[in-house]
Structure 1
Amino acid sequence: MSPDSDPSPDLAARMASGRLRPERRISTPLRDLARLAQARLELPAPDDPADGGAAVTGVDLRAQDIEPGDLFAALPGTRSHGARFAADAVAAGAVAVLTDEAGLALARESGIPQTVPILVHDAPRSVLGVISAAIYGNPSQRMSVVGITGTSGKTTTSYLVEAALAAAGRRCALVGTIETRVEGRRVPSALTTPEAPQLHALFALVLEAGVDTVVMEVSSHALALGRVDGVHFDIGAFTNLSQDHLDFHRDLDDYFEAKARLFDPESPVHADRAVVCVDDRWGEAMAARAGSGDGVVVTVATRGADADWAAGAPEASASGTQTFTLVGPDGASHTVSTRLPGAYNVANASLALACAAELGVAVDDAARGIADVDVPGRVQRIERGQEFLAVVDYAHKPAALEAVIATLRGQSAGRLAVVVGAGGDRDTGKRPQMGEVAARSADLLVVTDDNPRSENPAEIRREVMAGALAVPVTERGEVREIADRAHAIADAVRWARSGDVVLVAGKGHEIGQEIHGVKHPFDDRDVTSAAIDHVLGERS
């Protein structure tokens, strides 16, 4: 089955409605779930076996999404406790509640009937994954699951792995930042990794549809917060690590430890086999961590390090297609081509092929599968008949921005304009770094708004500008500040001449701009296209 094939009508209808639940339901007694999670079961009548054997057939975190027969997971949150909505969940059909001690009291206060049993655990989120997996029949144990983590390259690598496996006839589902894709049916993703109840329900759904392999991005948040608990990973793949999410993690070491949950033999979610890019010190450390037990560790390198899979220097065509030689563990050489430009995409492609090989796919078949893959919002060219290169990319952290700029510099001898900002309610430390990287590398830097979220956009821009203006005048290009993102893009496009490059960075595939809790329609690709059309009209 190809990634572009049509899903079955029944599956298509369910996915279009947003109902990502399997048709087949399994009844799981509450007592079994209590034993599995080592939770206390609060029954209305402690000696009544019927209550402990209530038929739980689903699980959800949101009261508004509860279906009859569900377990309602009432977790403590930063703003409110989920147990406050227990009565709503029971009214919708929940037959039991999972919560903590505080939630037990709140659930009773919310007005739920005294006859509703409650599972009580000191840390309910920590057991939600294994409970969800059990309720849906442990579907990940009946498929191959490839989990891809790292700071940059997760999305691209996941698309490449999916294509490599599909070329060999594997029936794949893709779960990631841009979309969830099942039998070619695309579902927009709100999170890189769904919460545990949604994830295990999705696994059960795709298993019913005949999928045999799931390729998924696994974020550090998902690993730290237990969203992938209960998942059996056949392969864990590591791309790289650089500064990001330090609003959530204490420091880079803490960030690394979150990623390491997918590889550490002592972790309950560690993969059976690790495929690790060792191009940086964090990759070397991750390979060492994964190798501290009895698991299989496969290494990938593109910069000359000793590894099982070694990629040679690529040759790039005028269109940006790269061709390189990949040498495998058996010493055999394979010619690999990818439409995705940049040294980092050689690493992504090599990692993807190593993952496919670990699942038994012939390397040359896998290489044919990835040759024509494009990834939305990743070094995506905007072609409107203009004489300059326009590119939209998701780069929203310093290392990623530096890498894509270096790639574009290598593709053109002309000038370079960069339009970039920084997201609100995220790691503030990278804002001046983004400004510095862009100012040092661009002939024109236009600092603008990204997704301000709840923050003051002007303050975010000030921090990015501070980094840009800290670069000595003799070492940087022109720096402008234009708050309105559409106007900023138009300004850079208007500046460009034949042979130049315009990079619009930070949002990539996103189709909205979040400002004070409201997501306004905004797609860098559409806005850039419109700006180019306008300029071409002016110049004709």
Structure 2
Amino acid sequence: MAITLDTIAELSGGRLSQGADASVRVSAVGINAQELPERGLFAAVPGTRTHGATYARESSAAAILTDAEGERILTDRCELRPFIVVEDVRAILGTVASAVHGHPSHDMTLFGVTGTSGKTTTSYLLEAGLLAAGHSVGVIGTNGTRINGEPVPTQLTTPEAPVLQEVLARMRANGVTHVVMEVSSHAIALGRIVGTEFDVAGFTNLSQDHLDFHDTMEEYFATKARFFRPGSPIRAGRSVICVDDEFGQKLSRLAGPAAVTVSTGSRPASVTVGETEIGAAGLQRFDVRIDGRDITCEVPLPGRFNVANAALALTMAATAGEDPKIVAGGLRDVVVPGRMQNIDRGQDFLAVVDYAHKPAAVSAVLKTLRSQAEGRIGIVLGAGGDRDTAKRPLMGAAAARAADLVVVTDDNPRSEDPGAIRAAMLQGARDAVRERKSAGKKKRVADIREIGSREDAIRAAVEWARAGDAIIIAGKGHETGQLVGDVRHPFDDAECLTRAIDDRLRVEAETEEQA
């Protein structure tokens, strides 16, 4: 599809540069100058260091969309191509990109899942339920993008607005009828979902994270709330909110009486969950009371938080008009890479990989393991560099309060000193141990270790485990690389854990033969 610059100027409220040909048509839009085709529209946005307009000469795009500062740069460089000047490029970029691609979200049913933890798992559960209902489903999220089952890797939970609209258009062209999308707070704050019409928005929970981007928890919450608040230009058509935490309760009040609420506890809500039966390998069976019906769900994921994720996914589908009984039938066999992923090589202890990288998530996964393991609990944990520094001691403390072994290691240090990151986590862990001792809680005091090499840390936990114990490798989950400086080194927690267990089993077998 292609639209004229005149149409774009009208949509964006922008001003065409003097002498610009309003009839010029563009069929693509993007912020990467070098990737745009000749009929593209280069969106020159201000950056943290350099304005995008300085890269205009590297683009073969037919026209440029920019702001007043970008106009000055383009004029000084004698730019001859037409350009449109707007007040804030990012604020209208999604609307423009949607128009260029023929408003793809209008032709599909879109579900947006937001919150701190559980977005990816809820998305997988919703995808499985919609597939069981016979729909063609696309997914956009942390684990990448899938179009009719074909993976299309992405580096952002929610892609930049032009990429998002392009992906949605591709999904539509491939016959996708329903799309499930993780919506991050960055995506909301940076306008990535502007121009996208969501039919149903779902909220999981909120806990400390991304305070390197948001100044306070209040700001973090307010950003999420824009997806649900009446009058917001990005508000979804309908809202489904889990009210298990205080932020969900607050959000349900802001969203208004039309919002559907979900509770897995005693709190009153539109949708409630009954008692949970726990079966083999963490399978959970429970009833969800929705629209006066008790719908039985079976989910092969341990943890009470996954009961909440499943109930939210089921309710979102039902809110969009799906039969919840049919949707529930698709949940039993769902597999979520790196989310409470059980690594079973025949060992006599439980070994799990999970993405938990926030204090509340660390506490939740350890609580889950404690309820399922007969013996001790061990955790391998690190924190990412160039991210929220305040959560590091809190993560260490959460681990030390709930685990018997805490191995502090490297995550993705990025540009930071890995030792400094570990030190902050170790401080929190050791403070928590001292608090337990001073309170007289000496029955279980965590063994705190520091091992910088993530592989060595994982192997140490495997060697530590005895029959009936449980270990969890936390923080990276599905990721297949470790970012040190500007270099991404291949690293997969699940693969590393598998190798460590296999090596231990082989040594044990050889020792037994020699005996």
Question: What TM-score does the superposition give when structure 1 sets the normalisation length?
Answer: 0.91
Cα separation, 2, equivalents of 1:111 and 1:318: 70
Equivalent of 2:267, from 305, 308, 318? 305
Q: Counterpart of 1:150? A: 115
Distance 1:490 1:332 in 2: 48
TM superposition shift of 1:109: 4.2
Q: Deviations over 1:458-477 (max 9, x none)?
A: 00000000000102253631
- Mapping of residues 126-145 of structure 1, within 5 Å: 126-145=91-110
Q: Distance in 1 between matches of 2:332 and 2:239?
A: 24
2:476 counterpart (507, 520, 534):
507
Superposed counterparts of 1:146-295, under 5 Å: 146-291=111-256
Residue in structure 1 matched with residue 427 of structure 2 by the alignment: 466
3-state SS, counterpart of residue 52 of structure 1 = coil
Q: Structure 2 counterpart of 1:309, which letter? A: V
**1:526 CA displacement:** 0.6
- CA deviations over 1:170-197 (Å, ceiling 9, x no partner): 1110000001001100122200000000
Give the SS at the match of 1:470: helix
Report the equivalent of 2:449: 480
2:31 aligned residue = 61
Q: Secondary structure at the match of 2:339?
A: coil
What CA distance in whole angstroms lies between the structure 1 residues aligned with 2:238 and 2:325?
A: 21
In structure 2, what residue type is equivalent to 1:420? Answer: L
Distance in 2, matches of 1:109 and 1:464, equals: 50
Measured on the aligned residues, the alpha-carbon RMSD in Å equals 1.1
Distance in 1, matches of 2:465 and 2:215, equals 41
Aligned partner letter, 1:235: V
CA deviation profile, 1:27-85 (whole Å, cap 9, x unmatched)? 21111111111111103x26xxxx11111111011012101210000101112211111
Distance 1:249 1:83 in 2: 27
In structure 2, how many angstroms separate the alpha carbons of the residues matched to 1:155 and 1:106? 41
Corresponding position of 1:444: 405
* Matches of 2:454 and 2:78, distance apart in 1: 48
> Partner amino acid for 1:85?
Y
Is 1:534 the counterpart of 2:499? The answer is: no
**What is the match of residue 63 of structure 2?**
96
**Residue of structure 1 aligned with 2:12, choices 16, 37, 57:** 37
Q: 1:386 aligns with which of 340, 344, 347?
A: 347
Q: Distance in 2 between matches of 1:326 and 1:119?
A: 52
Q: Secondary structure at the match of 1:244?
A: coil
What are the Cα deviations for residues 405-445 of structure 1, in whole angstroms up to 9, with x where unaligned?
11111111111110001111111111001100111111111
CA distance in 1, matches of 2:177, 2:250: 31
Separation of aligned partners in 2, 1:106 and 1:384 = 60
Give the aligned residue type for 2:487.
V
SS in 2 for 1:310: strand
Alpha-carbon distance in 1 for matches of 2:78, 2:481: 39
Check conservation: 1:42, 1:118, Cα contact below 8 A.
yes
Partner SS for 2:120: helix
Provide the rounded CA distance (Å) in 1 between the counterparts of 2:72 and 2:11: 23
TM-score normalized with structure 2 length: 0.96
1:400 aligned to 343, 346, 361, which one? Answer: 361
1:111, distance to aligned residue in structure 2 (A): 5.8
Query: Structure 1, unaligned stretches of length 5 or more?
Result: 1-25
- Report the AA paired with residue 316 of structure 1: I
Residues 499-508 or 530-539, more deviating: 530-539
Query: Do the aligned partners of 1:148 and 1:218 also contact (CA within 8 Å) in 2?
Result: yes
Distance 1:78 1:86 in 2: 17
Aligned length: 501
Q: Once the two structures are superposed, what CA deviation does each residue of 1:362-404 show, in whole Å capped at 9, x if it has no partner? A: 1111110111101000000111121111100000001111111
Is 1:374 paired with 2:332? Answer: no
Letter paired with 2:462: V
Q: Which amino acid aligns with 1:84?
A: T
Could you list the per-position Cα deviations for residues 457-511 of structure 1 after superposition, in whole angstroms to 9, with x for gaps in the alignment? 0000000000001022536310000001000001111111111111100000000
Q: Which runs of 4+ in 1 moved over 4 A?
A: none
How many Å separate the matches in 2 of 1:486 and 1:249? Answer: 32
What is the identity, as a one-letter code, of the residue corresponding to 1:28?
Answer: I
The C-alpha deviation readout for 1:208-263, integer Å capped at 9, x for no partner, is 11111110000000000000000001001000001100111111110011101111
**CA distance in structure 1 between the partners assigned to 2:52 and 2:150 by the alignment:** 32
Residues 210-219 or 381-390, more deviating: 381-390
Partner of 2:50: 80
Structure 1 segment 333-348 matched on structure 2, within 5 A: 333-348=294-309
- Aligned with 2:376 (options 406, 415, 418): 415
**Distance in 2 between the 1:476 and 1:432 partners?**
17
Aligned residue for 2:201, secondary structure, equals strand
Q: Secondary structure at the match of 1:510?
A: coil
In structure 2, C-alpha distance between the alignment counterparts of 1:230 and 1:33, rounded to whole Å: 13
Confirm or deny: 8 A CA contact 1:318 1:411 kept in the other structure: no
Secondary structure of 1:319 counterpart: helix
CA distance in 2, matches of 1:268, 1:476: 51
What letter matches 1:87 in structure 2? R
